[in-house]
Structure 1
């Protein structure tokens, strides 16, 4: 049956079967000018403006599984049919000028042999889903380079090009345009004549944006097209000092009470000194009773922390407290509404892991043209910087070089990168992270569902090398307990959540409003989670996992864990500078939750002391030890010993069972040995709190490359 015969039997103007019309997405129909409209003799009739276009026939064949025939119709007929099935929204319609420019770009690249038919088809399909510029899509997929696209745009728009690779700007000229506007539009003045500015632009500016720039500069401008990556680096060089100052000093200067740049406040020093003096004086007068009181107090704190975690676990066990987004919801998601998403990736001395990082970021199921990946490198890390530069990454990857200054911490680097961020939302990923491919989409959908006061969505963390040795298995058990049980239960009860160090997704504007991360806090994630809660914001957990590399070597693990504990001590000291204010902001339940959560780091300090007392008594039967545990104190301490150890083992077993990691569940039975390592790291962090509070203990990644 020919297309002509079919067309005479059933016509587009006779109407469209609504179910058939929905077989192809709206963006695809409008881009390729096609519309399924009827079924005759087992064949689907698809109206097409150009039935001879092989790309149209091929992509229809990929999307429709039943036999079909392309039937020629006029553009106006097809557009009318599309509007009948998909009532048009102005923001989703491609203007005639934009369609003409897209067609010219495609013809220019294909005729010159720079793009193959398959590459063009893939890019056009993505354009039909997202509406993003065709040239940018081709660059993001590596079909053409940014320089080729700039040359094509130069030809289409009749604009000159400018090379910025070795360009040294006149800072007075370059800073004539306010940083915020230069960053928003990705433009930099590169020269000034008597009558105009020469303006390097990543893409030709529209009339309104051009008027804003000329108003800010006070002169007309002439646009020069530049490579986006080179222009991005130029913006950073011009405004590096400004970004560094904000990254380091913003929280310290605008929220001094919330900054850990002062380890212990004067009021806290006075309190601790007075408490110590009172304890010593009382100890001199009533030495035995004083020691009994201290043992009882420590035992009660120890037991309270254990019971609190146990209670949270019981609430979460066997339930699903996280927000879930189904596969069907993701499949129905209109990619045209997806916002730009910034990914901040702090790197330090990790050149070897960069290729794997790029692979995992490219594996994310999110339009690459809407990704803003910031690779944050310290200025003195020349090896990692050189590795990134040598890879010639597409422009959605941005190398960000953080000027060398103290404190040299991950939060300072993230603060620096946040100022360059373009996304409505942003997320932290570490260099070794492997997030679920659909995590960004799940976070976006969750943000559209939750209350407006939810400023952060936290994904779950676990490890991809949990089977490597006993240490990695313990680490995975602990993560399963923390992210599968405790944090979801805390989120469900609206308690302050100490965020994980990665895979926390933020509303960018809210994060900036709060001053972002404290660069002096070495567990900046936990601190930020508490600050969010104090300001009335909330954190939601989502059912999506990021796999990390568990430290498999004890010294490396100790360095990481001691930093975490030091940060917990910092966070407790910062937020307890004014306990009554904290109580009024988070309520009694939140106040207790905060202290019991942060208190877990202090409890770890007690382990060696109680273990030493127990061991000494077993071998010596020392009378003075027996005197420390009279009556009720003995029972509390005994409960602490047995209940505390049982709870710790139970939590780790429950976490792995909740996640379904049955292969490592047995290792949880040896968790007390792991607890000993945790106590060792806690003491190291506690000592560093006073000797080197802002030192960032670097841990090595990429030790398990075979995974």
Structure 2
């Protein structure tokens, strides 16, 4: 793994956005048969060009990228800012013979939302809206996804019909209606048996009191013996740690088996990267500049900036920044605890990628890092669930202390961790430059 530190175009005669006060009428038309869905998806670019919404050179480039990467033309055009999102979604609605829904002005039925689940709505970017004309209207930003999930949606809701809304509208609506439940789920996502939530409970009170009493007794009766016991325990743990690192270093120095042949990736996956922020007043320019160097296709890159609701410093800095379309902000509601694990747990449900990564605000990844992560996952197959990147310091020669940290990081990420892997031992993961397969 590479090192890491840390205007409107033309007229809109074909599709106008619905007036905010207008009633919503959703054409059912047999709930959109499968064959027209696929053909319409293929001709969307032609329709956008015909209606004058996108310039000719931009649509040619977008269609070429779509053919090359097998992605969605809507994602490509939005990522390249070829037209404003409102115009894109209005054109989508006209192209699919449906309408645009603004869930802020016409809120959804919460019972329908709960049937799919708040986390399911976020992962699928779908919003069960209301029952209209005997069918449940499902608002989505991706008509192709409606076809993909239609059988599942039909089992949940009965007859369904599609409407168009934006991903941001889905996110904002779900957070407004079910944000606190999602925050509570983030705090309790890990089972009790594997969580530190149960530490200090009644099950540990007895052993803790017994150990404390034994130590107090030894201090009074045999203080010198207690000192020898502590010294011996310290020496033993240091010796075992040194032997483990030596074994890992020896294993890492052995001849490595050749890597599998470079994979042939037919379709590059969407990669989500979570960046947890707190107390960052000047983060936006630096973050956009550093992550903007990533060479992974923008339409396949999903950067999720996670901030706490009470962190007005960071929220104000991001609100005043001109973030690119492939970056979005997720606000974590207030809760009993405010930790990075909670923020990451909350953000996972907002990720749309089949690979999810974690960065820190100060990270500066190599431009090809995401591409190499995707290639490595394909090389290693489904047995590999997680990849840990190598970390380095920006300033290894500034002073003696920075040299010591640089040596420690180089030893850990280039010798110890590869050695532990060769030995088949558990790998301690870091809190950044970490990538794992998402559950989609």
TM above 0.5: yes
> Within 1, Cα distance between the matches of 2:76 and 2:381?
34
Q: CA deviation at 1:410?
A: 0.4
Q: CA deviation at 1:476?
A: 2.1
Pair 193,491 (structure 1): closer, same or farther in 2 beyond 3 Å:
same
1:700 maps to what in 2? none
Pair 125,403 (structure 1): closer, same or farther in 2 beyond 3 Å:
same
Contact 1:377–1:384 (CA<8 Å) still a contact in 2? yes
2:46 to 93, 100, 103: 103
Pair 290,345 (structure 1): closer, same or farther in 2 beyond 3 Å:
closer
> Within 2, Cα distance between the matches of 1:216 and 1:151?
28
Runs of 5+ unmatched residues, structure 1? 1-93, 513-707
Contact 1:146–1:228 (CA<8 Å) still a contact in 2? no
Matched, 1:298 2:234: yes
1:3 maps to what in 2? none
3-state SS in 2 of match to 1:445: helix
2:62 maps to what in 1? 123
Aligned ranges 1:483-498 → 2 under 5 Å: 483-498=413-428
> Within 2, Cα distance between the matches of 1:323 and 1:165?
55
1:217 to 138, 157, 180: 157
Aligned ranges 1:609-620 → 2 under 5 Å: none
> Within 2, Cα distance between the matches of 1:448 and 1:431?
28
Matched, 1:257 2:257: no
Aligned ranges 1:28-39 → 2 under 5 Å: none
2:4 maps to what in 1? none
> Within 1, Cα distance between the matches of 2:55 and 2:322?
19
Deviations 1:86-139 (A, max 9, x none): xxxxxxxx976544333333443xx45x4362x334323321211222232021
> Within 2, Cα distance between the matches of 1:179 and 1:106?
36
Contact 2:71–2:267 (CA<8 Å) still a contact in 1? no
Q: CA deviation at 1:413?
A: 0.7
1:153 to 92, 114, 128: 92
Pair 460,324 (structure 1): closer, same or farther in 2 beyond 3 Å:
farther
1:407 maps to what in 2? 337
Q: Which range moves more in the overlay, 169-178 or 301-310?
A: 169-178
Pair 324,417 (structure 1): closer, same or farther in 2 beyond 3 Å:
farther
2:410 maps to what in 1? 480
Q: CA deviation at 1:363?
A: 2.7
Pair 211,325 (structure 1): closer, same or farther in 2 beyond 3 Å:
closer
2:369 to 439, 450, 459: 439
Q: CA deviation at 1:141?
A: 1.8
Matched, 1:499 2:429: yes
Contact 1:379–1:401 (CA<8 Å) still a contact in 2? yes
3-state SS in 2 of match to 1:132: coil
Contact 2:45–2:59 (CA<8 Å) still a contact in 1? no
3-state SS in 1 of match to 2:186: helix
Q: CA deviation at 1:377?
A: 1.2
Contact 1:229–1:395 (CA<8 Å) still a contact in 2? no
Superposition CA RMSD, Å? 3.4
Contact 1:325–1:445 (CA<8 Å) still a contact in 2? no
Matched, 1:312 2:242: no
Contact 2:123–2:349 (CA<8 Å) still a contact in 1? no
> Within 1, Cα distance between the matches of 2:219 and 2:317?
61
2:269 to 336, 339, 352: 339
Whose relative contact order is higher, 1 or 2, with alpha carbons under 8 Å and at least 6 apart?
A: 2
> Within 2, Cα distance between the matches of 1:381 and 1:129?
42
1:233 maps to what in 2? 172
2:81 maps to what in 1? 142
> Within 2, Cα distance between the matches of 1:224 and 1:273?
62
Q: Which range moves more in the overlay, 150-159 or 140-149?
A: 150-159
> Within 1, Cα distance between the matches of 2:41 and 2:313?
43
> Within 2, Cα distance between the matches of 1:406 and 1:218?
39
Q: CA deviation at 1:378?
A: 0.8
Q: Which structure has the highest helix share of the two?
A: 1
3-state SS in 2 of match to 1:143: coil
2:318 to 382, 388, 391: 388
**Larger Rg over CA atoms:** 1
> Within 2, Cα distance between the matches of 1:372 and 1:277?
54
Deviations 1:477-532 (A, max 9, x none): 221121111111111112122111111211223xx9xxxxxxxxxxxxxxxxxxxx
Q: CA deviation at 1:464?
A: 2.0
> Within 2, Cα distance between the matches of 1:185 and 1:454?
25
Pair 406,181 (structure 1): closer, same or farther in 2 beyond 3 Å:
closer
Q: Which range moves more in the overlay, 444-453 or 492-501?
A: 444-453
Aligned ranges 1:633-648 → 2 under 5 Å: none
1:204 maps to what in 2? 143
3-state SS in 2 of match to 1:250: coil
3-state SS in 2 of match to 1:337: coil
3-state SS in 2 of match to 1:454: coil
3-state SS in 1 of match to 2:233: helix
2:356 maps to what in 1? 426
Contact 1:323–1:446 (CA<8 Å) still a contact in 2? no
> Within 2, Cα distance between the matches of 1:359 and 1:167?
38
Pair 465,120 (structure 1): closer, same or farther in 2 beyond 3 Å:
farther
Pair 433,288 (structure 1): closer, same or farther in 2 beyond 3 Å:
closer
> Within 2, Cα distance between the matches of 1:386 and 1:374?
16
Q: CA deviation at 1:409?
A: 0.4
3-state SS in 1 of match to 2:387: strand
Q: CA deviation at 1:211?
A: 5.6
> Within 2, Cα distance between the matches of 1:367 and 1:152?
24
Deviations 1:23-62 (A, max 9, x none): xxxxxxxxxxxxxxxxxxxxxxxxxxxxxxxxxxxxxxxx
The total of aligned residue pairs comes to: 403
Pair 468,122 (structure 1): closer, same or farther in 2 beyond 3 Å:
farther
Q: CA deviation at 1:463?
A: 1.8
